[in-house]
Structure 1
């Protein structure tokens, strides 16, 4: 399991509006593409530097592919990265203000302190 890679996925997808839409509409294909093409990129590198050892485990891949943000939280994905990406994808589906944020809070309400470790 790599909390770093989960957070890197959430961070990089959230910063590209086209990827946000792609992930919303085709989550499994986007996760597979991202893992194959982008996971190994070194963040902040202006060169095409890559690592070869990073990959999602089955639980991470499935949680990402099914938009299962409670599971991502349980796996240690940073809640702010998860929240901002999923707001970008799903807030528009709610008529009331803060609709998605309220659902997010409700679906994570079963967790109590201490939360899963979010350090990378």
Structure 2
């Protein structure tokens, strides 16, 4: 797994409201577009500066395309990045205060320490 690439995806999608909405409405399409167009851009460089080797594994693609934060956490994606993005995408779907966050946590309740390594 490329923790770097998954975390870069989560970070960049969360920082762009239009992209956040696009990912909410069309996750598989957004993942495919981002991997093809954005994944290999080198941060803080001109668009012409690109790498060619970064791509998601099929497992990463599937977890991102299905909004599966449990699988992403198990693969080592940073939980803060998934949580903040999930809040932006799904908090509005819950009527009770902190409903989304409590559901997020409940789905990870089976995870015991030590947690998966989130270092890059």
Q: TM-score, normalised by structure 1?
A: 0.98
Q: Could you report, residue by residue, the CA deviation over 1:45-101 in whole angstroms, capped at 9, with x for unpaired residues?
A: 2x1111100000000000000000000000110000000001100000000111110
**Partner of 2:20 in structure 1?**
20
Note the residue ranges of structure 1 that are not aligned, 5 or more in a row: none
State the alpha-carbon separation in 2 of the partners of residues 8 and 44 from structure 1: 13
| Equivalent residue number for residue 109 of structure 1 | 109
Unmatched runs of 5 consecutive residues or more in structure 2: none
TM-score (norm 2): 0.98
Matches within 5 A, 1:86-97: 86-97=86-97
1:24-35 to 2 correspondence within 5 Å?
24-35=24-35
Match of 2:5 in 1: 5
Q: Secondary structure at the match of 2:67?
A: coil
Cα displacement (A) at 1:43: 1.5
| Partner residue in 2 for 1:64 | 64
Number of aligned residue pairs: 119
- Segments ≥4 residues shifted beyond 3 Å: none
Q: Which residue of 1 aligns with 2:41?
A: 41
